[in-house]
Structure 1
Amino acid sequence: MNDSGIEPDRQPTTVADRLAREIKRLRLDAGLSQRVLANKIGYSRQYVSMAEWEDANLPSQELVAAIDAALDARGTLTALRAQAKTDQQTARNAANPDHPLRGTIAATADGTAPAEVRSPAHYAQGTTEELIDVLGRIQKLNRSIDPAIVEHLTNSTHLTIEQYETIDSSSIVGGLVKQRAWIDELIDECSHPSQRRQLFEIAGQTSGLLGFITAGLGNFPLSRAYCLEAFQLGGFAEDMNIQAWARGLQSFCEYYAGRYHEALRYAQDGLNYAKSGPQSVRLTINGAARAFGKLGDTDGVRRAIDESCALMEQNNAPAGAPSSISLGCYSAAQVAGNAATAYVSLAMPIRVEEYVNRALPEMSKSNSPWGRSLVIIDLARSQILSEQADLDYATALMLDALDISEGKPMIPVRRRAAEFAQDVAARWGSSPQLSVVRDALASLRDTDERC
């Protein structure tokens, strides 16, 4: 109200105000929220919100053009902005008609007046644009991922690792590859430090799973790449347990690739990350002890087995036979099974049977078909290595072991079964038993090709 009690007239609507209202109207007509529209055009929601403010500075030409296209405005929004820009320039010129250099100095290369003839309004506009840039950077710094998505990915990946023994690996490869690619996108979108660490953890575990699967399928070059990626992602996540876990996967890959010195090197380096934590047991028994066995180092095998037993006690080892790639500690049954494998390589059948007898009861109760299969293969090999060898019994054990892992022709099963056949041929030459085992192995290869 003024002194006369009459309300003054509102300022007349500007073209810039019409532009802001038209952007909002078209967006609402399209049924889009500001956030959805922002995602469609590649800007933050704050930019779209500012474009809908009346009495605000003009949004940039690029932003209006993007909104025009997204809302199918057919150029009406860009035309309104051009008209608003002309009106603003006319108003600025009218506000300073007597400037001695007005109209006499050429525009700069970007089409604006040189600095010495720019009006205070120009600097206000520039300051606002800089403010928007700063606000945009703040928004980028605060970008985060829905915590429910991070939690779901974490739980799902951990469950896959813990239940790996019961899963047909060929059925999950595609999903893991897709998950790994999606996590990279989430990392690019996320600026929140703790969430980024979580995403790096999940990415490392996903790559590790893919490395283990591809090693089991005999694709060692691809396995090496995935395992190395898992190790590096563990570093980005600042999680030494994942790095130790990844070193164990690298050792596994090199063991079945026949590079036993490399397998030992990765296992020993992994212990620098594991310290005396849960992964130290797996690295010592599955990595070091087995590699020592292949290298013919009896003392090394004994030391590694003793160390793994001591480390197992420090880490409250679980009962039964958990996943062979668990992020936790190996069990007593798993330590015994790997000790048996190490002694097979040293051709020490009495020690093999001792550790098989410790491992087999728990392995038989577990849900790991190929875990049981590997222990029985070690027992079969111990039978043909002993002085009182029983070829018929050993062959029966081998066929049972291959039966157990039917449909899961992993490299560890095929490789150890082939070593059994080599041992039989070396001791007895051609025999009916050897033919039966070779037929069973050929059947496994056929299954692998069909898979």
Structure 2
Amino acid sequence: MGGETFGERLRRLRGDMSLREAARRANVGKSYIADLENGRRRPSRTIAAALDKALRAGGELVAVMPTSPALLRPDSGRAEEINDVLSRMRRRNRSVDPVIIDHLRDELDDVMLRYEQLDHSCLVPSLLRQRLWTDTLIDECSNPRGRERLFGIASGTSGMLGYLAVGRGQFPLARAYCAEAFQLGDFAQDANLQAWARGLQSFCEYYARNYSEALRLAVDGLGYASAGPQSVRLTINCVARALGKLGDVEGVHRAVDEAYELMSHNAAPMGLPSSISFDCYGLTQVASNAATAYVSLGMPQKVQQYVRLALPTISESNSPWSRSLVMIDHAVSLVSSKEADPGHISDLALDALNISAGRPIVSIQQRAMELMCKATQRWGDSSRFSDIRHAVTSREVQR
């Protein structure tokens, strides 16, 4: 071993560790390590020391590094090699072509815009590929602005994967993705993105039936949102609905009013925009979420008031899930009315389930089962409501 070159010893010490992992630990490019091992580059003392630490080599690499001209640092008199300076410049200069970053962002935006119409089971593979590629580019990029943009794209992609995992009922996986989305939003230094991620975390806990935690995450998210576009979504989709499940009537009234007030200060879109957009919720989404909050409180008149506001636009949309959900909320509200017709309610619920048949998600299953419970409490078991139970249980959530 005494006659080994620097590159030979580096290769031996690296052993089974991948170039990528060694490069990550030493904060250099993997191609740089490959060049050192093949003798195409001369190592600097700084790089040799970093590799010694990364590989736990105890100074072996510094001991065998070749000599090279040195540059004296006047502040300390310590010799710093020219390669040290040039290596730092190279590491700081590593960047990713902005065209590639723009493409990744366009791909993410396109998925978000078309989310309501796309088959969710087809989205996961492409999102996973994009997420892994973005991580690779982050490792290769030293440019601060480029890294922030890549962190933002990675945050959005992880958030989308978390949102889809909630729909499949995979709550532990969803929590991990949504927490990662929040962390990456922090790395991107984007408060709106962090607010968006908190909304996803709250959404996950809501359908996992952890309503107090859903409320806590939503309130924390509002601190990042300020009065910006995500404040509307956090207030109506997260705070109001969690308070509804917790039985806080005054809290729901207040949250609904605040959501409309916040929407008036933001550029609320027309029609039915994506439910997972980085932008503001629209009027239809605020109304439909208000209806859901009042369903939980057992206030049928309030539910029907907001269903009437939301249903026309949702009925014209291409989102099968939104149409199913608002129809089920309407059916639940009718159960509490004095002149409720169980046959009509059953037909309405079955129509709602048929709209999204073949593409079931947890939110639809949970609300349909809540309808079943309320109907059974009022009228007892019947063949009509058994049909609803069969329709729900026979359609497994896509995983």
SS in 1 for 2:81: helix
Query: Which residue in the other structure is 1:273 paired with?
Result: 224
Q: 1:298 to 1:142 in 2, by over 3 A?
A: same
Amino acid at match of 1:180: R
Per the TM alignment, residue 442 of structure 1 is displaced from its structure 2 partner at its CA by 2.3
Aligned residue type for 2:395? L
1:322 to 260, 268, 273: 273
- Hey, what does 2:193 align to over in structure 1? 242
- Partner of residue 158, structure 1: 109
What is the rounded CA distance, in whole Å, between the counterparts of 1:111 and 1:311 in structure 2? 65
- Check 1:41–1:212 CA distance in 2 against 1; reply closer, same or farther (3 A cut): closer
Looking at structure 1, the residues matched to 379 and 138 of structure 2 have their Cα atoms a distance apart, in angstroms, of 59
**Displacement of 1:428 after TM fit?**
1.3
Residue 299 of structure 1 is aligned with which of 245, 250, 253?
A: 250
2:389 corresponds, among 408, 415, 438, to 438
Match for residue 90 of structure 2? 139
Shift of 1:413: 0.5
- In the other structure, the counterpart of 2:125 is 174
The code of the aligned residue for 1:220 comes to: F
1:417 counterpart letter in structure 2 = A
In the alignment, what sits opposite 1:202? 153
| Cα contact 2:158–2:178 (8 A) shared by 1 | yes
Q: 1:271-420 counterparts in 2 under 5 A?
A: 271-420=222-371
Matches of 1:138 and 1:40, distance apart in 2: 13
CA distance in 2, matches of 1:212, 1:138: 40
Q: Distance in 1 between matches of 2:161 and 2:371?
A: 28
Aligned partner of residue 376 in structure 2, secondary structure: helix
User: Which whole-Å deviations, capped at 9, do the CAs of 1:277-308 have from their partners, x for residues lacking one?
Assistant: 00000000000111111111110010000000
Alignment of 1:112-131 (within 5 A): 125-126=69-70, 130-131=81-82
Question: Following the alignment from structure 1 to structure 2, what is the Cα–Cα distance between the partners of residues 325 and 365?
Answer: 19
Superposed displacement of residue 162, structure 1:
1.9
Which residue is equivalent to 2:5?
Answer: none
The match for 2:18 is none
Output the TM-score relative to the length of structure 1: 0.73
2 CA distance for matches of 1:42 and 1:413?
50
Q: Given the two structures, how large is their TM-score scaled by the length of structure 2?
A: 0.82
The aligned counterpart of 1:54 is none
In structure 1, give the amino acid aligned to 2:164.
I
Q: Which runs of 5+ in 1 are unaligned?
A: 1-38, 49-59, 67-108, 113-121
Which of 35, 43, 47 is equivalent to 2:32?
43
CA distance in 2, matches of 1:366, 1:315: 23
Letter in 1 for 2:167: G
Indicate if the aligned counterparts of 2:215 and 2:243 stay in contact, CA closer than 8 A. yes
Cα RMSD between the aligned structures?
2.5
How do 1:179-190 residues align onto structure 2 when only pairs under 5 Å count?
Answer: 179-190=130-141
Q: Distance in 2 between matches of 1:229 and 1:213?
A: 14
Is the deviation greater in 122-131 or in 271-280? 122-131
Distance of 2:29 and 2:247 partners within structure 1: 63
Report the secondary structure of 1:156's partner residue. Answer: helix
Q: Distance in 2 between matches of 1:342 and 1:440?
A: 25
Q: CA deviation at 1:63?
A: 1.4
Provide the rounded CA distance (Å) in 1 between the counterparts of 2:275 and 2:37: 59
Q: How far is 1:178 from its partner?
A: 2.0
Task: State which of 370, 378, 383 in structure 2 corresponds to 1:427.
Answer: 378
Change (3 A) 1:353 1:137: same
Alignment partner, residue 63 of structure 1: 39
- Could you tell me how far apart the structure 2 residues matched to 1:158 and 1:299 are? 37
Range that drifts further, 324-333 or 159-168: 159-168
Q: Distance in 1 between matches of 2:366 and 2:331?
A: 14
Q: Which has the larger radius of gyration?
A: 1
Measure the CA separation in 1 of the matches of 2:335 and 2:37: 82
Deviation, structure 1 residue 313: 0.7
Please report how far the alpha carbon of residue 316 of structure 1 lies from its aligned counterpart in structure 2 after TM superposition.
2.3
Find the aligned partners of 1:185 and 1:207 in 2 and give their Cα distance. 15
| Separation in structure 2 between the aligned mates of residue 222 and residue 267 of structure 1, nearest angstrom | 19
Aligned equivalents of 2:41, 2:215: Cα separation in 1:
61
8 Å CA contact 2:29–2:140 kept in 1: the answer is: no
Is the alpha carbon distance of 1:135 and 1:364 closer, same or farther for their aligned partners in structure 2, counting shifts above 3 Å?
Answer: same
Bigger drift between 196-205 and 162-171 goes to 162-171
Residues 337-394 of structure 1 deviation map (CA, whole Å, 9 limit, x = unaligned) = 0011011111111111110000000111112110111000000111112121111111
Question: CA 1:385 to 1:145, structure 2 compared with 1: closer, same or farther past 3 Å?
Answer: same
Corresponding residue to 2:164 among 210, 213, 222 = 213
The corresponding residue for 2:50 is: none
| Displacement of 1:111 | 8.4
